[in-house]
Structure 1
Amino acid sequence: MLERTRAILADLIAYPTVSSDSNLDLIAYAADLLKQSGADIRISQDPDGRKANLFASLGPGVDGGIVLSGHSDVVPVEGQEWTSEPFALREADGLLYGRGTCDMKGFIAACLAVAPVFAARDLARPVHFAFTYDEEVGCLGARTLIADLAEAGIRPSGVIIGEPTEMRIIEGHKGCFEYTTHFTGSGGHASIPDAGVNAIEYAVSYITRLLELREPLKARSPEGSPFTPPWTTLQAGAIVGGPARNVVASDCRVDWEMRPVTSADADFVKAEMRAFVDQVLRPAMHAVDPATDIVTHVIGEVEGLEPASHSEALAIARELTGRNEADVVSFGTEAGLFQKAGISAVVCGPGSIAQAHKPDEFISLDQLDQCLGMLERLADKVSR
């Protein structure tokens, strides 16, 4: 089984499914393998038809199935120094190298390898495979997939998200809310800056106010918060604007994010920034030029995974892995979206998040073997 998984992983890595590009070839490949096991296939696409989710089902067509979920997209390799071709699997000393090996094509490969095992069993409840697009840029595919399942009346009861956790069970994580704020100013010559509205200067004021909210967010940290750090975080990741030093910039863009511990924190930040724009920044801009503006676009608002004392997914993961302890992490996954849709969720998969998004990303054969063991035990559990 491990060798079959390795071969499938090599095929998956060869598809350069960077989030900016199509994943259709990989989805077609995975769908073909699952069809060979007799799975029912559902495809849901993005609005442009360039990307797709795959949802495949084995077993009886009843409620209460278990979903094995992973995202098909990977982060870019540009600017990274790899010692081998990122989109060609390389093995050395028990490690498999390539973009996406741990995040998270290793888990997808294991699921595809074990599909014939599920197909050969007399399943008492369905097992579903969910492979999504655009997780890395806002969990866009998972939203489409979950909506498609609701419309079709497909009601699983639990999901295992196979993000790299070194097969530790993760019962909770922060949300990940991502935004782009555009500043439209009024350009002009730098010798008379007051005659224009410098979009960069207003962007700097916006960022300054945003980062001032860090302290009140620390004070709002819930007692006993298990996260590191225990409070909601804010970060400005990029600021882009202006053509030259002697030109009043007419355009600027700020990319920023927050990782809320609670939904109330997210509401607090959005309300504070909205008030700052409406009451301070925009009036000052309009006093010079009414055509100026500030507009914030939501890139993705991915809810966190809240630890639940009575979670079927958590109970199943404990049984399958033999681990009683469950942890929380600060990185985000699609798990919160499933949980919000009424599907209990847990994160547990092969590989280490420490390798994700880095050059020479790898997963160990031992981690893949542990994952295969978990999936084979799941086959035993859901069989009559």
Structure 2
Amino acid sequence: MDVFDILDRLVAFPSVAGKPNGDIAGWIEAYLGEHGAKVTLLPGPEGDRSNLFATIGPADVAGYILSGHMDVVPAGEPQWSSPPFTLRREGERLHGRGTTDMKGFLAAALAAVPALTKLRLARPIHLAFSYDEEVGCRGVPHLIARLPELCAKPLGVIVGEPSGMRAVRGHKGKAAARVTIHGRSGHSSRPDLGLNAIHAMAVALSAAVGEAERLTHGPFDLAFEPPYSSLQAGVVTGGQSVNIIPDTCTLDLEARAIPGVDPTSLLAPAKARAEALAANGFLVEWTPMSAYPALSLPQDAPLAELLGELTGEAPSAAVSYGTEAGLYQAAGIEAIICGPGDIGRAHKPDEYILTGELAACQRLIEALGARCAA
């Protein structure tokens, strides 16, 4: 199978984040097994989805991980020109959900496997394919925790998120949480007998808005746009009717932090103000939704230099989106982003990747294999 056949098969699996992924993980496991790779499925605590880890070469020697996620975002938008889970070729464009984010990288890595297995690798190349990345990098921490029993500590991780095949050394960290406030309903003519959850939520929302404004004053990291950490309220829901005292209100918050700043700390002011409402009779729930740290790989790191040599251009400093790379770095493993496609095409109808981008990615992976050969 060539890279296009593989991508066709991968796109056909509607592996939406948060859903069981046995079909796609099982197909990849079988494909890799046919080519002699050592494959391990790693079921997550959910019980219905798994990470996958595979090794080509000696597992007891330090090598490199090619990291990607098998899940995709939903594809319910009516603007799709063709079925989103059927690969459609239009000239150099290959359309389908996940083609860019990030089944294109998975396909290129899998297409390179036959060439890698023919090499006498002195250093291994591992494939680490995770689940539920699109809902807050929930799967990969379980995979990272198992690495010590699966392989020698890797020299580095290449996370194949779409970067136009230019390596990237940094991204912001992220944390998201939901606050739910429960009050007491009643007729709006007697507000003295109820507890208005929306009014109470305004206190927490005000704290979040104030923190967002404070963050615009620094600290700064000019590698990013914007060059400061940020905080926003993304979703507010509550109430039934204008003449009913609302007894419940929820608020979803998201923070994005420059390297050196803990993203969860940016949510602390809103959390404190919300929880203080308990003294007024409200029941307050704070539910973390997702969190991952920033990535910051030094310019002179061996992995950055290697990717510069393999791609022919110096790695760029940072991208605006987040990846699993920060979690690998937090675990003590150098990580960098480099993959086919453009993030601007992701998460929208008629998502696509270019045939040339797939070919370039496969060449890079095979070149990495040549570096690892005896």
C-alpha distance in 2 between matches for 1:275 and 1:48: 31
Aligned residues: 374
C-alpha distance in 1 between matches for 2:313 and 2:225: 22
Verify: 1:64 aligned to 2:54, yes or no.
no
- Corresponding residue of 2:266: 269
C-alpha distance in 2 between matches for 1:78 and 1:110: 26
Please show how residues 158-169 of structure 1 align to structure 2 within 5 Å. 158-169=156-167
Structure 1 position 182, deviation (Å): 1.2
Cα deviation, 1:196-253, whole Å, max 9, x if unaligned, reads 112222223322220111221122223x521000011111111122232222122222
Please show how residues 103-114 of structure 1 align to structure 2 within 5 Å. 103-114=101-112
What value does the CA root-mean-square deviation take over the aligned residues? 1.6
Cα deviation, 1:325-349, whole Å, max 9, x if unaligned, reads 4230111000000001111000000
C-alpha distance in 1 between matches for 2:198 and 2:48: 34
Cα deviation, 1:82-134, whole Å, max 9, x if unaligned, reads 01100000000210000000000000001111111111110011110011000
Structure 1 position 194, deviation (Å): 2.5
**Shift in alpha-carbon separation, 1:77–1:333, aligned structure 2, 3 A:** same
Cα deviation, 1:276-321, whole Å, max 9, x if unaligned, reads 2344x333x32xxxxx222211111110101324423212211211
- Asked whether the equivalents of residues 56 and 129 of structure 1 are also in contact (C-alpha less than 8 Å), the reply is yes
- The unaligned stretches of length 5 or more in structure 1 are 287-291
C-alpha distance in 2 between matches for 1:203 and 1:79: 31
Amino acid at match of 2:246: A
The 3-state SS of whatever aligns with 1:48 is coil
- Corresponding residue of 2:40: 42
- Asked whether the equivalents of residues 242 and 250 of structure 1 are also in contact (C-alpha less than 8 Å), the reply is yes
- Corresponding residue of 1:289: none
One of 245, 248, 252 as aligned partner of 2:245: 248
C-alpha distance in 1 between matches for 2:65 and 2:150: 16
- Asked whether the equivalents of residues 232 and 265 of structure 1 are also in contact (C-alpha less than 8 Å), the reply is no
**Shift in alpha-carbon separation, 1:129–1:325, aligned structure 2, 3 A:** closer
Q: Normalising by the residue count of structure 1, what TM-score does the alignment of the two structures yield?
A: 0.93
Verify: 1:383 aligned to 2:373, yes or no.
yes
Verify: 1:282 aligned to 2:272, yes or no.
no
C-alpha distance in 2 between matches for 1:63 and 1:298: 38
Worse overlay, 268-277 or 131-140: 268-277
The 3-state SS of whatever aligns with 1:240 is strand
- Corresponding residue of 1:27: 25
The 3-state SS of whatever aligns with 2:169 is strand
**Shift in alpha-carbon separation, 1:282–1:220, aligned structure 2, 3 A:** farther
One of 320, 336, 342 as aligned partner of 1:330: 320
C-alpha distance in 2 between matches for 1:23 and 1:296: 29
Amino acid at match of 2:125: V
Structure 1 position 158, deviation (Å): 0.5
Structure 1 position 267, deviation (Å): 5.5
C-alpha distance in 2 between matches for 1:235 and 1:381: 44
Verify: 1:232 aligned to 2:222, yes or no.
no
C-alpha distance in 2 between matches for 1:31 and 1:306: 32
- Asked whether the equivalents of residues 236 and 255 of structure 1 are also in contact (C-alpha less than 8 Å), the reply is yes
- Asked whether the equivalents of residues 94 and 365 of structure 1 are also in contact (C-alpha less than 8 Å), the reply is yes
Structure 1 position 61, deviation (Å): 2.0
**Shift in alpha-carbon separation, 1:341–1:380, aligned structure 2, 3 A:** same
Verify: 1:346 aligned to 2:343, yes or no.
no
Verify: 1:213 aligned to 2:203, yes or no.
no
Cα deviation, 1:36-86, whole Å, max 9, x if unaligned, reads 121111222222211110000010122311000111111111234101100
C-alpha distance in 2 between matches for 1:262 and 1:322: 26
Worse overlay, 140-149 or 94-103: 140-149
Please show how residues 164-179 of structure 1 align to structure 2 within 5 Å. 164-179=162-177
Worse overlay, 344-353 or 47-56: 47-56
Q: Normalising by the residue count of structure 2, what TM-score does the alignment of the two structures yield?
A: 0.96
Give the percent of matched residue pairs that are identical in Structure 1 and Structure 2.
39
- Corresponding residue of 2:100: 102
C-alpha distance in 2 between matches for 1:364 and 1:12: 16
The 3-state SS of whatever aligns with 1:328 is coil
The 3-state SS of whatever aligns with 2:296 is coil
- Corresponding residue of 2:359: 369
The 3-state SS of whatever aligns with 2:2 is helix
- The unaligned stretches of length 5 or more in structure 2 are none
- Corresponding residue of 1:316: 306
- Corresponding residue of 1:117: 115
Verify: 1:358 aligned to 2:348, yes or no.
yes
The 3-state SS of whatever aligns with 2:184 is coil
C-alpha distance in 2 between matches for 1:154 and 1:196: 61
C-alpha distance in 2 between matches for 1:150 and 1:211: 42
Amino acid at match of 1:364: L
C-alpha distance in 1 between matches for 2:9 and 2:307: 28
